Every structure is written in structure tokens, then in C-alpha cells.
Amino acid sequence: MTEPRMRQRHKGQQFPNSDLEAFLFSNGSPLPAPQPTLATLDAIITDFIIETCHEAALRASLAGRQKIKLDDFKFMLRKDEEKLGRVEELQALDRQIKEQKKIFSEEVVSKKEEKTEREKGKRKKRKRDEDDESAGEEDGEDAKDAKKR
């Protein structure tokens, strides 16, 4: 099996300094972070992402697939319980959000349907009222004609 084709790396940083500084600050580093520290962190993160994707691609190719699936990443992270747990946590959260969106959209659709049914009922009532009025006028004219005769 050959390794996935290498692409030329972009020179310079891949991630914005503000994101890297926020990451360092959240882990206890004082602000402002030195530029060499930011460059090193950027290189470490970029290498980790590239190597992770290569390992997942290798797993997919061993399974006889061209496309990488989430399970390939989970298989690659199987020895690192902390990262695997975080991936599963995010996956569960994603499922929960999708279910909530589905429930919300069903509620919105049902409310719209109820509203249209009420409007149809009002239209029918108005039409009946108009028909009754026009029928009453016609009856009144017939009654007048009958009196004249």
C-alpha cells in the first residue's frame, strides 16, 4: 500500500495567532505569547492533523474504501482514551442537536398546519355567511315578487 500523495505545505502559519494565543492562555500561558511559541504550536498542531488524517486514510484503504469515515478516526484514536472519549462525546452531542432540530421543525410544521387549517375554517365560514346573505337577498326578492303577483 502506498502512502497518500503528499501535497506541498503552505509556508507560514496555518492557524491565526488569536486562536493560538487563546489556546495557550486557556492552558495557563501569560499573554502576549512569544512569536516562536506560536510558530511551534502551529507546527505541532498542523503535523498532528496531517498525521491523523494519513492514519485514518490508511485504515480506510485497508478496509477497501476510498473515503474516510468517522469510524476510521475512532479506530486510529482507540489507544488514546481521552481523545476517543472526546470524539464520542461530540458525536453524541451532534446526534442530540439533530434530534432537537427535528423535533423543533416538526413542531413548527404542525403549528403552521394548524394555522392553515384554522384559516381554511374561517374562509369556509365566511363563504357560508356570504352564501347565506346572498341566499337571503334572493329569498327576499322572491318574496317581494310573490307579493306583487
Class of domain 1-76: mainly alpha
Peptide bond into 16 cis (omega under 30): no
Helices 35-62/17-26 angle, 10° precision: 90
Summarised one tens digit per residue, pLDDT across range 70-114 is 888 899 899 999 999 999 999 999 999 999 998 888 877 777 777
pLDDT of 3 over the 80 cut = no
**Domain regions of the chain by residue span:** 1-76, 98-149
Q: Do residues 73 and 52 touch, judged by C-beta distance below 8 A?
A: yes
pLDDT value, residue 14:
81
Peptide bond into 32 cis (omega under 30): yes
